[in-house]
């Protein structure tokens, strides 16, 4: 990274705090945050007070522990591209959920992770879904594999750099790149869930008019129940078709090969 022409130490500390809390799964104390970002407790105390006042961080049941609130997610969703993505995706997700009797989720890239930005619950009594804002490594999720497989070269390089910085081994990165080749050929991913036994994760890419990279992954954590209307073998084509319709609503024009 090149040196910035201007410095804003207070802003940098605030961003370090937010990125620190976003990178962990458990709430942290002020002392733990300070240790993680390499600053003293006194340096960041006032930053945390302001972030808490503005609603970006919040206390947990343990008043000494802090976590990110949904404020950043809410602010991010105000940007037109994400709002347009929601508007295009949610009707298709609702229709697909009813057709398949499955939960549907929409995920985007965030550094070396995916983050779920929309979901539709299964109409069935039994289904599997994750909370909004759920994060998971690109390496360990169907959505992540889709988003990497259908990333333009520059985006794919950035993802690999983020993964490497996050501790991924060269073997992990090579495996990811190998899997991406097959996923691009198939047009979707279909794999056993890395989170829950008995669930098959099926995902397809969503594109818009502004980027060569997939902007989102439409993913179904497929659960077989007695009310399941669609077989797991037939599901990928339906999910890919729904993803294509969302892409068309976003102005994407497929390239003619």
Note whether residue 4 is domain-resident.
Answer: no
CA–CA gap between residue 22 and residue 17 (Å, rounded):
9
| Domain annotation covers residue 56 | yes
Which pLDDT tens digit goes with each residue over 185-196?
A: 999 999 999 888
User: Where is the domain boundary, 18, 49, 69?
Assistant: 69
- The residues, any chain, with a CB within 8 Å of residue 143's CB and separated by 6 or more, are 105, 107, 114, 116, 136, 201, 203, 217, 219
Q: Which residues of the chain have pLDDT under 50?
A: 1-2
Q: For residue 105, which of 139, 69, 144, 75 has the smallest C-alpha distance?
A: 144
Give yes or no: residues 40 and 124 share one domain: no
Nearest Cα to Cα of residue 101 among 250, 231, 243:
231
Residues 57 and 65: their CA atoms lie apart, in Å, by 10
Residues 50 and 169 in one domain: no
63 and 81, same domain (yes or no): no
User: In Å, how far are 35, 177, 244, 249 from 204, measured between CA atoms?
Assistant: 40, 17, 9, 16
Nearest residue to 148 (alpha-carbon basis) of 115, 191, 179? 179
pLDDT digits (tens, 9 = 90+) for 139-150: 999 999 999 999
CATH code of the domain covering residue 185: 3.30.450.40
**122 near 129, Cβ under 8 Å?**
yes
**79 and 119 housed in the same domain:** yes
Q: What is the pLDDT of residue 135?
A: 87
**Structure confidence by residue, pLDDT tens digits, 35-67:** 999 999 999 999 999 999 998 899 988 889 999
Q: Which domain holds residue 63?
A: 9-69
CATH number of the domain where residue 40 is located: 1.10.10.10
> What gap in Å lies between CA 191 and CA 201, rounded to an integer?
5
pLDDT at 241: 96
| pTM beyond 0.85, yes or no | no
- Distance, CA of 185 to CA of 90 (rounded, Å): 27
Q: Is 117 exposed, middle or buried (0-12, 13-18, 19+ CB in 10 A)?
A: buried
Residue 180 lies in a domain: yes
For residue 127, tell me if it sits in a domain: yes
What pLDDT is attached to residue 134?
86
Check: CB of residue 141 under 8 Å from CB of residue 194: yes
CB 113 within 8 A of CB 158: no
48 & 119 share domain: no
94 with 26, same domain: the answer is: no
d(CA 125, CA 102): 10
Q: Are residues 126 and 163 in the same domain?
A: yes
Does residue 44 sit in the same domain as residue 82? no
Last residue of a domain, one of 53, 69, 85: 69
171, 235: one domain = yes
C-alpha R_g of the chain: 20
Of 194, 160, 192, 187, give the one whose Cα is nearest residue 242.
187
What is d(CA 89, CA 100) in angstroms, rounded to the nearest whole number?
16
Give CA–CA dist 175/116, Å, rounded.
Answer: 24
Q: How many domains does the chain have?
A: 2
Confirm whether 3 is domain-assigned. no
Cα separation, 122 vs 145, whole angstroms? 23
98 and 55 part of one domain: no
Domain identity same for 17 and 111: no
Q: At 66, phi and psi to the nearest 5?
A: -120, 150
Last residue of a domain, one of 69, 101, 120: 69
Shared domain for 62 and 89, answered yes or no, is no
């Amino acid at each position: 990274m090149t040196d910035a022409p201007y410095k804003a130490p207070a802003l940098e500390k605030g961003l370090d705090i937010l990125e620190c809390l976003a990178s962990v799964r458990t709430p942290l104390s002020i002392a733990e945050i300070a240790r993680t970002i390499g600053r003293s407790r006194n340096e960041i105390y006032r930053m945390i007070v302001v972030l808490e006042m503005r609603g970006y961080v919040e206390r947990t049941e343990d008043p000494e522990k802090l976590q990110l609130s949904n404020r950043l997610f809410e602010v991010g969703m105000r940007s037109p591209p994400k709002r347009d993505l929601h508007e295009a995706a949610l009707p298709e997700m609702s229709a697909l959920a009813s057709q398949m009797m499955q939960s549907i989720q929409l995920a985007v890239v965030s550094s070396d992770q995916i983050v779920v930005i929309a979901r539709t619950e299964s109409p069935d009594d039994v289904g599997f879904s994750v909370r909004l804002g759920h994060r998971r490594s690109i390496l360990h999720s169907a959505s992540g594999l889709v988003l990497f497989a259908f990333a333009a070269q520059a985006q794919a390089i950035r993802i690999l750099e983020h993964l490497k910085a996050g501790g991924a081994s060269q073997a992990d990165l090579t495996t990811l790149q190998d899997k991406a080749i097959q996923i691009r050929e198939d047009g979707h991913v279909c794999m056993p869930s890395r989170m829950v036994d008995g669930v098959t994760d099926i995902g397809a890419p969503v594109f818009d008019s502004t980027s060569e990279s997939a902007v989102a992954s439409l993913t179904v954590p497929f659960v077989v129940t007695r009310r399941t209307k669609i077989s797991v073998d037939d599901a990928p084509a339906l999910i890919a078709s729904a993803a294509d319709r969302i892409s068309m609503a976003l102005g994407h024009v497929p390239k003619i090969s």
